[in-house]
Amino acid sequence: MGKVAIIGVGQSAFVRGYPGSIRELAFDGFKEALEDAQISVKDIDASIICSAPEYDKQRSPSGVFAEYLGLIPQPTCYLESLCSSTSMGLRMAYSLVQSGLHDVVAVLGFQKMSEISSAESQERMGRGADIQWESPFGTMMPAYYAMFAKAHMEKYGTTLEDMALVRVKSATYGQVNEKALFRKPVAAENFSDPNHFMSGPVSSPLRVGDCCANADGSSCLIVTNKEKAKAMSKKPIWILGLGAASASVNMSGRDLFTGLSVARQAAEQAYKMAGVNPKDIDVAEVHDCFTISEIMAYEDLGFAKLGEGKELVRNKETYKEGRIPVNVDGGLLSKGHPIGATGGSQIRTIVLELRGDAGEMQVKNPEIGLIHNIGGVGLYGAVTILGR
């Protein structure tokens, strides 16, 4: 099989209340990716637009974006798998290029969540669960992940302090990421201070500081084949492994509440395809929509044994200088979470790391990077492994 590479990455700043339209928001990430790849719009022969629906009024945004970005009459399509949409878009782009059907594909993720209220946004997220048997009863994302947190704490002795340390690490790197929504330091003591907003209850045991925030943003990836990658790019980053899985939408159909089966299955597939194992990963981005999510991801990906994920953050092994640096761009907790753009942002960070272009976030000489991107409450899982 021929190699497939990412030759360009882009991302808008992640913000609250983007003042322009969704097509203008998409342009911000697209423009940066084109400039990064040093190609023109004419070089792109297909596009994949990724987001979660119902956060804005535009139906079928792919055609609207293709026209605005100058990508017609090339084919375009719309893809969604909730928060993992852009990672699944990359998987589709890989297939299109690998098959020879297309040579250069743009994968563009976006979300403008500020067009609706926070209450409306939570309701939309709730409808990512089963609208017949679960979401009508008021289930929301924090409540779902609170279930995972309680299960993990009961079985493995994980503490509130462990989860707070994840946010402290996130804020350490959010401060140096110019694209991040939150760029201020966070101290573990903030979580025990009843007067600090970080300690406010959301869904026990999760507090405000344990939860990521909605945001507006876009991201873009330019994908091509081996021949064009070598001709167009001085630093192509190769797609080594792709894994994906799905799970029961209803919690009653799950048999695991201390981790995510989709992450474990997708990771196993990606490691096998890439011919590597967890010890070979030099830098990773994981889907830290909640602090407990990052701890579970350490275990689901094999970076730590089951129940020992908390030890990684306690010992700072997932800091930039540690054994396995994770979310050194601040993760979702600091960057914010514009659903359709999140996976692309994670992939962008790993591409920059592998190139040596990550600035203050740069890990020392990484060769292999991993991206863990989850859709819904573990409904969809995608794991991507990239290499220099």
Count of alpha carbons within 13 Å of 50, Cβ hemisphere only?
A: 35
So which residues are the catalytic ones? 83, 337
In whole angstroms, what is the distance from residue 282 CA to residue 260 CA? 22
Residue type, 211: C
Run of H or E including 264? helix 261-274
Tokens 């999140």 found at: 342
Evaluate whether 198 touches 190 at the Cβ level (below 8 Å): yes
Residue type, 258: T
Tokens for 135, please give them.
């979401």
In whole angstroms, what is the distance from residue 326 CA to residue 225 CA? 29
In whole angstroms, what is the distance from residue 57 CA to residue 232 CA? 37
Nearest to 377 by CA among 256, 214, 249: 249
Which burial class, exposed, middle or buried, applies to 157 when counting CB atoms under 10 A from its CB (0-12, 13-18, 19+)? Answer: exposed
